[in-house]
Structure formats: C-alpha cells, structure tokens
Structure 1
Amino acid sequence: MTKEECFYLGRIVAKFSFKGEVLIKLDTDEPELYTEMESVFVEYNENLVPFFIERSYLHKSTLLRAKIEDIDTEADAEDMIGAELYLPLDLLPKLPEDKFYFHEIIGFDAIDAEHGNIGKIVSINDSTAQALFEIDKDGKQILIPMNDEFIQKVDKKNKAIHVITPEGLIDLYLG
C-alpha cells in the first residue's frame, strides 16, 4: 500500500498508559467514525506498515485512545509518538455531490465566472487559517481561498470547480 492509495488519518501525539496505549489526534470532523477500526497503516521509515488495533475509543471527544497490537510497553508507545497514520482511500465516507475531499480535486479545472478556465488545481494549502486552492495557469500560481461563498459548483463528472472570485483577485495573478 502506498500513500497515494491512502488518506491521512492523523498522528500519534502521546503515550497514554504504561501498557502501550497511545493517543491519536484524528484529522477529521467526525472522530466517532474511526472508533471501530481493525487496522491502520503507520508511516515508518517512509513505508506504510500495517498495525492491528486491539481496542480504541474517544478520549476527551477529540482524541482516539488506542491499544495497538504488539505495542505493549511505555517505551514501545514512546517510539510511536509523532508517527502518521493512514487508511485506504476506499474507507473514506462518501460525500454529497457538492462536497469533496482535498485529494479528489487535484487536477480539476478551476472555472471562474468572469475569467473562464483559470487553470488546474495542483494542490490545497491548508497550513494557513483559510485553506487555499493552489492553481497553475501556464506556470503562474493563483491562490483562491476555499470559501463556500466563492465555490459556485463542484462538477465531479467533468472534473471542474466553478468559482466566483472577488473583483480583481484573478487580475492580481494574471495582470
């Protein structure tokens, strides 16, 4: 299994008990969907290694407390801190047609109401306060905030996202 075939689930942020339990910060708005997982892929030396989960439950509503098979001591758990967790893409919950996962829209055309096709979405920058579409237009980068007010239509069938951008935004990049 490769990272491209998976989605990022979260990161082990702390050890919990002397029996090897860990706390996982899940990258989701619905952590309760992941309390019944049987296994998870852990990134280790740039490879994804499968681990089985013996038991897990929500801890303080946002963290997942998990006992992972073969992680039996505090030292074992300590070694896991910081590890990123992944699951296969086919385990992602299905979304309504007007919603999308970030990885789904890479390669989509960005169609602006005024300027037409403004390029391909090459990435999503979610490291800022407001997530941004990163769009490539003939080697120039265009950044558009991923704001519900700007997204007019998600057309998964034709691999396009239709946007209405504030006046002058696109001209900043292309002008």
Structure 2
Amino acid sequence: MTPTPVAQASEELIVVGKVSTVYGVKGWVKLYSFTEPMSNLLDYSGLHIKRGEQWQPVTITEGRLHGKSLVAALEGVDDREQARALAGCELAISQSELASLPEDEFYWHQLEGLQVLTDVDRQLLGVVDHMMATGANDVMVVSPCEGSIDQTERLVPYVPDIYVTAVNLDEGTILVDWDPAF
C-alpha cells in the first residue's frame, strides 16, 4: 500500500471506523465500525486509511461480519506483519458518500463542536466534544469552553423533544432542556 495523498484535500473526510487488530495470518484485519449498521463500513467504495498524518485510499477486497465485529482483507496487505502495522489506523470516507438524512436527523460529526445552551435562559453549558452510544440512547459529551457557565463536563442524552429541543447547524447551537446543576 503506497502512501498517496487524498486527491481533493479540500473535501472533508469523515471517520467511519478503525482497524483494531490483525485477524489470522493472511493479512486480514478486524475493523471497528462507527456506522449503523456496522456492516455499512464494508460497502463504501471511497474508503481512506490514515497512516501517520497521511490519508491514503484503501480498498476492502473481501469482508464479513465475524461475531460482534467485522473482518476484512485490504488490497496490498498480504501478511500478518503488514496487517499489524495498520492496527489503530482510522478509516474515513468523503462527506459526499454519506446518505442524505431527514431534516430533523444529524450525523454525529455535524453535532460535534456545536455550542450547547439551555433552552429557557440560553446559558452556555459548553460544546459537544464527542458523542457516545450507550445502548439506550446516544449521549453528548459537553465540555466547558470560553464563556460557559462553569468548568463542568456534562453527559447530556441526545433525545430529541425530551432533552434536545432544537439543533441549528447554521447558528452552531443545540438547545437543551437540561438543569445546569447536572
């Protein structure tokens, strides 16, 4: 696998998974997928892998579900040592490969970095640092930022119409029905 820069550096890449470890002796790898369902990771044609600071195209030549994870063969990775060198590498696609969502649904990467404010008095709680899947519902990890009411990290369930009352991507805000004491 020869390092090749992404052709369009201006096109935003979205991380959709990572290589977790080797699988077998023929260069296969286990993949951790951030997609829902997880098998969607095997279907992207424009996949890229990050080696060091460099993104390069990568092709999954074969892949399948294996228990609660995915296993795959990557083009140009023919033995266990080559596969081991990829452990921990992120996998991404161009934003243009993502399916369109209904108006009131969002991808996690769209929510990350947005300011989170209380809906009643617009107190700034912080910004969405990242999202977590908990099984019951997704959770926003809200980290303090300049101007936030305190230095508390908050875990706010992403439950529309209950805790999340509005998302405005243009304004960069999420309004929540949330007690700032929590």
Fold shared per TM-score above 0.5: yes
May I ask how many residue pairs the two structures share in their alignment?
A: 168
Q: Percent identity?
A: 21
Is residue 2:79 matched to residue 1:73?
yes
Change (3 A) 1:37 1:97: same
**1:81-92 to 2 correspondence within 5 Å?**
81-92=87-98
Using the TM superposition, give the Cα deviation of residue 55 of structure 1 relative to its aligned residue in structure 2, in angstroms. 1.6
Counterpart of 1:173 in structure 2 is none
Are the aligned partners of 1:35 and 1:58 in contact in 2 as well (CA < 8 Å)?
no
2:3 alignment partner in structure 1: none
- State yes or no: 1:19 paired with 2:26: yes
Specify the code of the residue in structure 2 equivalent to 1:53.
Answer: I
Structure 2 residue aligned with 1:53, among 36, 40, 60?
A: 60
C-alpha separation in 2, matches of 1:134 and 1:95: 26
Number of the residue aligned with 1:152: 165
SS of alignment partner, residue 145 of structure 1: strand
Q: Distance in 1 between matches of 2:112 and 2:167?
A: 13
Of 77, 101, 105, 1:99 maps to: 105
Specify the code of the residue in structure 1 equivalent to 2:95. Answer: L
Contact 2:51 2:86 in 1 (8 A): no
C-alpha separation in 2, matches of 1:145 and 1:7: 23
Q: Deviations over 1:21-77 (max 9, x none)?
A: 1110112331122222334211112111211221222222x3221111110112211
DSSP-derived class of the 1:48 partner? strand
TM-score (norm 2): 0.73
SS at match of 1:38: coil
SS at match of 1:165: coil
What is the aligned partner in structure 1 of residue 181 from structure 2?
169
Deviates further, 114-123 or 156-165:
114-123
* TM-score (structure 1 length as normaliser): 0.76
Amino acid in the other structure paired with 1:59: H
Distance 1:21 1:39 in 2: 19
- Give me the whole-angstrom Cα distance separating, in 1, the residues matched to 2:43 and 2:75: 15
Note the residue ranges of structure 1 that are not aligned, 5 or more in a row.
171-175
Bigger drift between 8-17 and 130-139 goes to: 130-139
Q: Distance in 1 between matches of 2:11 and 2:181?
A: 32
